[in-house]
Amino acid sequence: MQDDSHVVFKGTNNGINVWLDENADIESIKESLRAKTNDAQDFFDDSDVAITFTGRSLSKDEESELLDIIFKETALSISCAETKEEGAKARLTPPSARENRNEQLTFFYEGALRNGQSIRYDGSVVVLGDANPGSEIIARGNIIVMGALKGLVHAGYTGDDTCYVSAIRLSPTQLRICDIITYIPEEKKNKNKNTPSYAYIQEGLIYIAPLVNI
């Protein structure tokens, strides 16, 4: 039986504190975190929260792995991560607030992309319609869908982590930016189905945010 005592959740005024057992190895911590999030779904809501790790020091890679587990297993939108030992917060910065190096040409596709259709372009791609299930968009730059995005997308395929993906309804079967892949939980897709959103990389993870925040 998995020992989930290596991880303890506690709600705070600023978000959620995640206590980690300093005597457990990181693999045991990750397994405990997965088990704990599955057993405590009612503890989490879909709000924008700050996550604080306490109890042990973490490397940047370890912190990213733990945040990835929380992001995948819950409907949380993580706005801030902090380890108490380091005492420095890593504020998330959306694409509009940071330098974007994408200066490639942009390909405009008018109409809906159907099942089996694919666009691959050495620049940014804008689809003036829906991208239906079974469709595929692969771009060196950004990907913008002026409709429902329900297919597979890969922005920044040459390795640019400043790229982003945006859609009126962001519900892809698979979303990839640079070399990072994510799958959006069904409950999050349904909640945000009427909210234009965008996805971007920060601190080695893909985050989803409403376009109204830009």
The CATH architecture annotation of domain 4-91 reads: 2-Layer Sandwich (3.30)
**Higher local confidence (pLDDT), 6 or 195:** 6
Mean pLDDT value of segment 29-47: 72
What are the start and end residues of each CATH 2.160.20.70 domain in the chain?
Answer: 95-213
Q: What is the largest CA-CA distance in the chain?
A: 57
**Higher local confidence (pLDDT), 51 or 176:** 176
From 5-19, 75-89, 126-140, the region with the lowest mean pLDDT: 75-89
Using CA atoms, how far residue 158 sits from 101, 111, 174, in Å, is 13, 26, 18
pLDDT at 165 over 80: yes
Mean pLDDT of the chain: 78
| Distance (Å, whole) CA 59 – CA 147 | 39
Read off the pLDDT band of 44 (50, 70, 90). low
What are the start and end residues of each CATH 3.30.750.50 domain in the chain?
Answer: 4-91
Q: Are 52 and 12 contacting, i.e. CB atoms less than 8 angstroms apart?
A: yes
In this structure, which CATH number among 1.10.150.670, 3.40.309.10, 2.160.20.70, 1.10.3720.10 belongs to the domain 95-213?
2.160.20.70
Read off the pLDDT band of 121 (50, 70, 90). very high
pLDDT digits (tens, 9 = 90+) for 198-211: 899 887 888 888 87
For the entire predicted model, the pTM comes to 0.55
Read off the pLDDT band of 192 (50, 70, 90). low
pLDDT value of residue 133: 93
- The 3-class SS string of the chain reads CCCHHHEEEEEECCEEEEEECCCCCHHHHHHHHHHHHHHCHHHCCCCEEEEEEECCCCCHHHHHHHHHHHHHHCCCEEEEEEECCCCCCEECCCHHHCCCCCCCCEEEEECCECCCCEEEECCEEEEECCECCCCEEEECCCEEEEEEECCEEEECCCCCCCCEEEEEEECCCEEEECCEEECCCHHHHHHCCCCCEEEEEECCEEEEEEHHHC
| Distance (Å, whole) CA 14 – CA 50 | 6
pLDDT digits (tens, 9 = 90+) for 57-107: 888 778 878 877 877 766 555 544 555 544 444 444 444 444 444 455 889
